[in-house]
């Protein structure tokens, strides 16, 4: 049986870490998505709504930023950019 193509693809990667590829395939019978992680059906969350998926990504992002010792989130996301006060 052929696999359905993904409607949405999301790639998540921590700096220096491996990439996790999330694919969302719309379930034609419900307002939910089937979730594939790295090409395989997700064991922890095989089916979810868009809100549940966004919440999981937000939790992952907050947890990742909490592990860094670089200060506030805006500095952890863009550490290489020089920050200058406005008006200079």
What are the boundaries of each domain within the chain? 8-68
Is the four-CA dihedral 46, 49, 52, 57 of positive or negative sign? positive
- Residue 43 has a pLDDT of 87
Confidence category of residue 82, pLDDT binned at 50, 70, 90:
low
CB of 44 closer than 8 Å to CB of 52:
no
DSSP of 21-80, one letter per residue?
Answer: EEEEEE-TTSS-EEEEETTEE-SS-SEE-HHHHHHHHHHHHHHHHHH--SSSHHHHHSTT
- pTM of the prediction? 0.65
pLDDT tens for 22-79 read 999 999 899 999 999 998 998 888 999 989 988 988 888 887 777 665 554 444 444 4
- Residue 16 has a pLDDT of 78
Residues 13 and 69: their CA atoms lie apart, in Å, by 18
């Amino acid at each position: 049986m052929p696999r359905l193509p993904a409607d949405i693809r999301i790639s998540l990667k921590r700096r220096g870490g491996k990439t996790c590829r999330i694919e969302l395939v719309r379930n034609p019978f419900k307002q939910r998505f089937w979730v594939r992680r790295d090409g395989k059906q997700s064991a922890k969350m095989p089916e979810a709504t868009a809100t549940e998926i966004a919440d999981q990504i937000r939790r992952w992002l907050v947890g990742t930023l909490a592990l860094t010792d670089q200060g506030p989130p805006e500095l952890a996301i863009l550490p290489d950019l020089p920050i200058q006060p406005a008006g200079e």
